[in-house]
Structure 1
Amino acid sequence: MTIVLCLSCFLFRLGYVALLWLCVTHLRCARAETKTVVQKDAEFDVTYNDTVTSDNQTIYAFNHTVSRNKTEGVRVTVDVLSEGAESSPILFVVRQKQAVLSFQVPLILRGLYQRKYPYAHVGRTLCQPPTRTLTETQYFFVDVSTLSSLGTQYQLRISRVDSFTLHTDKKFSFTASPSQPQYFKYVFPDGVDTAIVKVNSEMTFPCSVMSIQDIQCPVYDLDNNVAFIGMYQTMTKTAAITVQRKDFPSNSFYVVVVVKTEDEACGGPLRFYPLRPDELIDAGNRSKTLDVVVSPAISSDVYVMGMLFCLGIFLSFYLLTFLVACVENKSRKANKNNQIEKDNPQSLTYCKGSYCFLSLSPPLSERSLESVTGRSRQESLSSIEEDDYDTLADIDSDKNIVRTKKYLCVSDLARKDKRVLSKKYQIYFCVLLLTCSSLLQVVNVTGNQDICYYNFLCAHPLGNLSAFNNILSNLGYVMLGLLFLLIVLQRDIIHSRALDRNDLNALECGIPKHFGLFYAMGTALMMEGLLSACYHVCPNYTNFQFDTSFMYMIAGLCVLKLYQKRHPDINASAYTAYACLAAVIFFSVLGVVFGKGNMVFWIVFSVLHILATMLLSTQLYYMGRWRLDSGILRRIVYVIYTDCIRQCSDNSSLTYIVLLLFCLSRAAYGLLKTPNDFASYLLAIAICNLLLYFAFYIIMKLRSGERIQCMAMVCILFTAVVWGFALFFFFQGLSTWQKTPAESREHNRECIVLSFFDDHDIWHFLSSIAMFGSFLVLLTMDDDLDDVQRDKIFVF
């Protein structure tokens, strides 16, 4: 019984479905009988005025001869003449041999927040299917239909585009709008493997997009799909894309230009919101006149010349350093022989053949060096940590007594065991290496043409690198950083040998020699080059901190080295220093992401900046001998009265106060102005602090009766001149990620050196040389004190 019921239900449903299908088929047939289809043989460059309803459909049939040696474009232009066509648009379908193009008129394009813009005038270019024969007749059809029962009047015109193919180094002008995009074909000529496509306009707005697409159908030439394939750039006045033949199998490509419906992508104003979600907004006149030109890129010979030029510049510094080292070594040996003859008048010199020998008689009043050196230097340093013990003899002289003397000498602040200090300052170099390896692991930036802020007018690709010249120019940081490490190593070896032979000058004279910070500075300069190269793979605001991280470190290490020269016992530890630098980099990232126009962030940063400046100034002024308690305000008032009002002319208190006020004024400026580029603002603070401290050091050095030797003076003058030229090229501003990519490209300029390097590359060259010179200044500026007892060298 159950089987019979199931079978009956199945048969009933099958009959119902069959009946429904018959009804639908009957309705379709009845509708087809009432709909009229008209096919017309049409011609090019003729305007057809017609009316379409839901009851009729018009098909326009075209044919044209396609030649393989001549490429012509075919353009469809449509106008809707009836009012109120937005509610029942006309559908146009173009059927070609290998492609179908369909669009409605009025064309509805969507902008930000899905706002709708209708366009009653539409112009589209048909893609060009390839032809295998020398000449071929191709047919295509334009179907016009609508679902509106009311008649809608339209105009249709098919025309040939004679200037469809772009020619090398020949400018072509055209007009485009959101509903009338334009694209043109370019074929690589023989001998050209790389070309630069440049699009320019005298009009900043409306915002537009330039795209490079392979020869294929369909061509994505509307605002809502132009970014689907290929490479693209938004543009206001200029755009440029470097194209390589190897990326296009057909040895040709399309240059597509689309005008956007809104200007927000190019930094333009945000238009008003629609009152209703489905409200149509009048877009107004958004036509734009543009010029396009395709030029061959540089040849491989220019690449070779650029690389040789870069290597030649920095290898010349190696050669110059070698010559200077030879001259200094010869001068040092001559001075040493003269000093030996002066100290030992009874010395006997005799010659044998072409060799001369100097026989010395030991001085009668020779000092015992064992009391000076203490432990043997052969003892291992591996078990000594900087915090294991304090070797300052507190029993003989208390720290508070020594550090609060009216006039301090270097010997008062160089009382710790030299092995402990050497271990302490070597930690700077070790921690920096760990920081370098960590940063290199996270540098991996990818993106398209619109998220990388290149100077597109001078961006020469090599392999997967879009701007190889910007990467190559960073070679100077690496080579000069390595050269500085070699110079420091030479000095370190000479000093170590002097200590091994218990040289009194090395033990008791001059600024104490600690090379750990110098090694860290040289390594930081090399890492600046590597991280800057990684940043220039695709420069933008998200990875800008990689370009500036080691700039902060270099500035901080230079300040620490200046302070260490006169305060070797109480300089900051490596862990504390790098923790502070990490905090600076952290605030730099926060400022880039949240700082623009965020008053809360600027208030927090300014408060922390002021507190840190006050605490650091107090720590430096009192050399660590102060405490934070309830009586600190009373002591501050007393110090200001005694050190600044009563006796400011007798010491450096006024200088410290002036520097402190300058630092506080910078914090106030940042709070009032809130600069958009927070990273550059923070870097400017670090550089200003370094320059102020360096100037203070030089002034106090000269006031103390010390002098600057010839080599250090040459380095100072040379570095100052190079820094001036470097900053000139830096402020040229070829691009800026503070603006939109389109606005940034307005600052792009052509190459200025060898048709390969731009202004920013020259900045890389000069700044690396200037940093190298600055390091040499720090290394040599106190060479005049090498023969002066440390108890006669003042602390400041």
Structure 2
Amino acid sequence: MASCWKPTHSSLRCFLLLLLFVLTVEGAGVEVRNTSVQVMQKDGEFDKSYMDNVTSEVQIIYTFNHTVTRNKTEGVRVSVELLSENTKSPVLFVVRQKQAVLSFQVPLILRGLYQRKYQYTQVRRTLCQPPTLALSETQFFYVDVSTLSTSSVQYQLRVSRVESFTLQTNTKFSFNATPSQPQFFKYGFPDGVDTVIVKVNSEKNFPCSVMSIQDIQCPVYDLDNNVAFIGMYQTMTKKAAITVQRKDFPSNSFYVVIVVKTEDEACGGPLRFYPLSPDELLDAGNRSKTLEVVVSPAIDSEVYIIGMLFCLGIFLFFYAMTFILACFENKRMHKKREGLLNPADMSPAETASLLGKTPASPYEYGSIADNASTLSSGPATDSLASTEANYGYMERSLDTVGRCRQESLSSVEEDDYDTLADIDSDKNIIRTKKYLCVSDLARKDKRVLSKKYQIYFWNIATIAVFYALPVIQLVITYQTVVNVTGNQDICYYNFLCAHPLGALSSFNNILSNLGYVMLGLLFLLIVLQRDVVHKRALLRKEATALECGIPKHFGLFYAMGTALMMEGLLSACYHVCPNYTNFQFDTSFMYMIAGLCMLKLYQKRHPDINASAYSAYACLAAVIFFSVLGVVFGKGNTAFWIVFSVLHILFTMLLSTQLYYMGRWRLDSGILRRILHMIYTDCIRQCSGPMYIDRMVLLVMGNIVNWSLAAYGLIKKPNDFASYLLAIAICNLLLYFAFYIIMKLRSGERIRCLPLVCIVFTAVVWGFALFFFFQGLSTWQKTPAESREHNRDCILLSFFDDHDIWHFLSSIAMFGSFLVLLTMDDDLDTVQRDKIYVF
């Protein structure tokens, strides 16, 4: 219609257009009133309270001005309190600045969980301060007050300057905040500082609060319902800490925003009662919180380099020590071979020892009572003769053994497991003997068993590849989500000692897992060296390699080293973003390590009847499956704990039966009948004691431990089911290892210097490692805010925390434990297998 007022248009045309507009408005039913609103404008002064009234017909505008300088930032805070009661229409306050507009109503309505409403009649908001280009500039801003209430509404307005608006480095500042009175402050990076840590502390757990780091821009999101829109943020009870890097803020400065939440459930607190009426506005009450903020410089690049060199140096030290010991052992073996070439220079005892003809021990394997009666019956020669008569076999010459073994090796097939014709027919007879030697359970061909145990390594390598790839992809996604959304409640770090590097939020927790990988690789190299030496001895047809010592099968050792390396990789993946949903990444290969160690201990004395790789990994898969179920459904679920405890006890009993009878029982429809018959004949009719006393002692102790752990889980229902399951595995492993050591010493065997040193060293390191593990710097069993209450500063080189030290020590302790298993029976390398007892 503006064109109607041009001189070139006729007045008639303008009149028609005006008439058409009026008719359109009337046809739409729009009522046009000529209402007048009185606008009152007042010059405002800082630090002065204004008590005024406003109605729908009266609007008040306050004009303020202040001087802004480039080198000094001064905050402005607007405080409003509603004095009238039972006001149906809120009062709207609009603050108009040069580059921003801030508006809010009083009473201020904030929503909590399930859309609960909370109203606040006192509101205080800080105005954002965009940077100015001029050296000094006078800026105006206006506070508009209006309402739609027909009745007069009284309020109080006060605008004041914030003296401590800019935070200083390493200077603590205390303040109060409520849901309707948030606070934010500005911090600028000083010269030479690229990374800082913003720490906020409070003496009270509740009310729950939020700390946010936002760029210098308007508006500032400082309310409970919008604080998560931009920047980085954390919920907090007593502690919060965020590491801020200069590269993320182009203006070289940022805002530290503190908001008190309307409810405490996000921090683990109780949920408030719902109002009686859905339309009722619940008064939030007193939710004031006193907080303290301090910004301190983070570590520089030199500390990163020192930390990485320290981590690398620790584990390279083990490589160097291994190399020195290998050189020493090689030199000793060279002298030993030279001695074999010159037997005239050796004593008869040394010659007999090298040939494997060690004097027989008067100790006889079996119960203590059996041994006591044997030793007291007569001279040692009579005891030995009696024992040989009971065993029913004679000592064979080494030449005959070597010839038979060579014939067996030449005719074996890869898929033939029972190469001796009498294995199937007399294995039950052999295994029922009261006293067993390793030769009784090492009757299958070595090449076949080697292939059988190599399957452990290839299977775990395949599992590692298919397990690790999706894990890596998932944790990368987690880290990306954290970086994009700024929600630091997703990951449970120790934020007081979380040093970022690139896209990683806590590089130090990832770096400290390097030990698992490096020491796992070192263990594989040690096993490979032993494997090569043993194969060369077999090619030379050395008698000690063919028929002396514990049968050497290295497949399980290779699997253990691979599992240790994978534990380091998956633990690093877990610490990219540790949380409730991916904790099983950190524990899956721990179960495998514990299981493989138990299998290796059992394999040492039972090479023919040890579990196959497929059944062993199937059992470990079941354990991991229950671990996932426990994490997801186990928290406080009585039905789950009942099912798990029953299965735990049943599996313990089945495994005990398998171990006691050495595989000579069948799980079929007649199992109950055979059990009843055995109880009747052995316990009721004859009242005879157990045939295998030592095995029975081990299994009774194992059942007591496992039944106790099952009862503890059923009663306490621990939240951390994965750690509970791992504790079960470790307890059983330690029990079996202690039994092995005790029985080894009882059998007249000895522990050499190297494994003894490894045992003592490993026990000490495990003790220190567990101390640091139980410090508990974070826990995903609680809310992120409650987890941060356990956060603590770095304790090593200003780079590593307690959990990093746990990674260092536990990797060393696992490596030492593996060395113990590898070297524990080195004293038997020159002892014939028909003189090595089975237990």
TM-score, normalising length: structure 1: 0.92
Q: Does 1:524 align with 2:563?
A: yes
Counterpart CA distance in 1 for 2:29 and 2:424 is 114
Q: Aligned-pair distance for 1:140?
A: 1.1
Q: Which residue of 1 aligns with 2:488?
A: 449
2:84 aligned to 64, 68, 82, which one?
A: 82
Call closer, same or farther: CA 1:632–1:284 in 2, change over 3 Å: farther
Call closer, same or farther: CA 1:589–1:365 in 2, change over 3 Å: closer
Q: Which residue of 2 aligns with 1:373?
A: 406
Counterpart CA distance in 2 for 1:438 and 1:755 is 37
Counterpart CA distance in 1 for 2:468 and 2:398 is 58
Q: Which residue of 2 aligns with 1:361?
A: none
Counterpart CA distance in 2 for 1:366 and 1:507 is 11
Q: Does 1:700 align with 2:743?
A: yes
Q: Does 1:618 align with 2:620?
A: no
Q: Which residue of 2 aligns with 1:417?
A: 445
2:722 aligned to 676, 679, 702, which one?
A: 679
Q: Aligned-pair distance for 1:647?
A: 5.0
Call closer, same or farther: CA 1:636–1:202 in 2, change over 3 Å: farther
**Partner SS state of residue 306, structure 1:** helix
Q: Which runs of 5+ in 2 are unaligned?
A: 1-17, 348-396
CA deviations 1:58-78 (Å, max 9, x no partner) are 111111111111100111100
Counterpart CA distance in 2 for 1:687 and 1:595 is 21
Q: Which residue of 1 aligns with 2:331?
A: 330
Q: Aligned-pair distance for 1:589?
A: 1.1
CA deviations 1:332-388 (Å, max 9, x no partner) are 222232244237989xxxxxxxxxxxxxxxxx99658332222556x9x9x824xx5
Aligned pairs, how many?
Answer: 761
Counterpart CA distance in 2 for 1:691 and 1:644 is 33
Q: Which residue of 1 aligns with 2:13?
A: none
1:746 aligned to 789, 802, 811, which one?
A: 789
**Contact between 1:648 and 1:654, CA under 8 Å: does it hold in 2?**
no
**Partner SS state of residue 600, structure 2:** helix
Q: Which residue of 2 aligns with 1:358?
A: none
**Contact between 1:528 and 1:551, CA under 8 Å: does it hold in 2?**
yes
Give 1:72-471 correspondences, 5 Å limit: 72-85=74-87, 87-342=88-343, 369-375=402-408, 384-385=414-415, 388-394=416-422, 398-443=426-471, 444-445=474-475, 446=478, 447=482, 448-471=487-510
Q: Aligned-pair distance for 1:513?
A: 0.3
Give 1:649-664 correspondences, 5 Å limit: 650-664=693-707
Call closer, same or farther: CA 1:26–1:336 in 2, change over 3 Å: closer
**Partner SS state of residue 419, structure 2:** coil
Call closer, same or farther: CA 1:645–1:732 in 2, change over 3 Å: farther
Counterpart CA distance in 2 for 1:773 and 1:494 is 22
**Contact between 1:164 and 1:184, CA under 8 Å: does it hold in 2?**
yes
Call closer, same or farther: CA 1:645–1:197 in 2, change over 3 Å: farther
1:759 aligned to 789, 792, 802, which one?
A: 802
Q: Aligned-pair distance for 1:198?
A: 0.3
**Partner SS state of residue 576, structure 2:** coil
Counterpart CA distance in 1 for 2:731 and 2:549 is 28
2:25 aligned to 13, 21, 34, which one?
A: 21
**Contact between 1:555 and 1:690, CA under 8 Å: does it hold in 2?**
yes
Counterpart CA distance in 1 for 2:129 and 2:139 is 10
CA deviations 1:531-571 (Å, max 9, x no partner) are 11111111111111101111111001000100111111111
Counterpart CA distance in 2 for 1:582 and 1:343 is 57
Q: Which residue of 2 aligns with 1:11?
A: none
Counterpart CA distance in 2 for 1:118 and 1:365 is 94
Q: Which residue of 1 aligns with 2:48?
A: 46
CA deviations 1:173-211 (Å, max 9, x no partner) are 111000000000000011000000000111111110000
Q: Aligned-pair distance for 1:136?
A: 1.1
Q: Does 1:775 align with 2:818?
A: yes
Give 1:533-572 correspondences, 5 Å limit: 533-572=572-611
**Partner SS state of residue 320, structure 1:** helix
Counterpart CA distance in 2 for 1:658 and 1:26 is 91
**Partner SS state of residue 294, structure 2:** strand
Q: Aligned-pair distance for 1:639?
A: 8.4
Counterpart CA distance in 2 for 1:189 and 1:23 is 66
**Partner SS state of residue 787, structure 2:** helix
**Contact between 2:81 and 2:155, CA under 8 Å: does it hold in 1?**
yes
CA deviations 1:23-76 (Å, max 9, x no partner) are 889855512x2x211111111111110111111111111111111111001111
**Contact between 2:51 and 2:157, CA under 8 Å: does it hold in 1?**
yes
Counterpart CA distance in 2 for 1:716 and 1:464 is 41
Call closer, same or farther: CA 1:26–1:767 in 2, change over 3 Å: closer
**Contact between 2:110 and 2:262, CA under 8 Å: does it hold in 1?**
yes
Counterpart CA distance in 2 for 1:311 and 1:606 is 43
**Partner SS state of residue 241, structure 2:** strand
Call closer, same or farther: CA 1:585–1:650 in 2, change over 3 Å: closer
* Shift >3 Å, 4+ stretches: 14-18, 22-29, 343-346, 364-370, 638-645, 647-652
Call closer, same or farther: CA 1:52–1:175 in 2, change over 3 Å: same
Question: Mean Cα displacement is larger for which, 656-665 or 223-232?
Answer: 656-665
Counterpart CA distance in 2 for 1:559 and 1:570 is 14
Q: Aligned-pair distance for 1:488?
A: 0.2
Counterpart CA distance in 2 for 1:326 and 1:639 is 60
Counterpart CA distance in 2 for 1:123 and 1:198 is 23
**Contact between 2:90 and 2:147, CA under 8 Å: does it hold in 1?**
yes
2:57 aligned to 55, 58, 72, which one?
A: 55
Counterpart CA distance in 2 for 1:547 and 1:130 is 47
Counterpart CA distance in 1 for 2:223 and 2:675 is 69
The letter for the 1-side match of 2:775 is: Q
Q: Aligned-pair distance for 1:650?
A: 5.0
Call closer, same or farther: CA 1:576–1:63 in 2, change over 3 Å: same
Identity across the alignment (%): 75
**Partner SS state of residue 283, structure 2:** coil
Counterpart CA distance in 2 for 1:108 and 1:372 is 89
Call closer, same or farther: CA 1:15–1:583 in 2, change over 3 Å: farther
TM-score, normalising length: structure 2: 0.88
**Partner SS state of residue 146, structure 2:** strand
CA deviations 1:300-347 (Å, max 9, x no partner) are 11111101111111101011111111111112222232244237989x
The letter for the 1-side match of 2:574 is: Y
The letter for the 2-side match of 1:657 is: V
Q: Does 1:487 align with 2:526?
A: yes
Call closer, same or farther: CA 1:779–1:343 in 2, change over 3 Å: farther
The letter for the 2-side match of 1:793 is: I
Q: Aligned-pair distance for 1:635?
A: 4.4
Q: Which runs of 5+ in 1 are unaligned?
A: 1-13, 347-363
1:632 aligned to 674, 678, 690, which one?
A: 674
**Contact between 2:409 and 2:445, CA under 8 Å: does it hold in 1?**
no
Counterpart CA distance in 1 for 2:318 and 2:687 is 47
**Contact between 1:201 and 1:238, CA under 8 Å: does it hold in 2?**
yes
**Contact between 1:644 and 1:653, CA under 8 Å: does it hold in 2?**
no
Counterpart CA distance in 1 for 2:639 and 2:399 is 68
CA deviations 1:450-476 (Å, max 9, x no partner) are 111111111111111111111111110
Q: Aligned-pair distance for 1:395?
A: 6.4
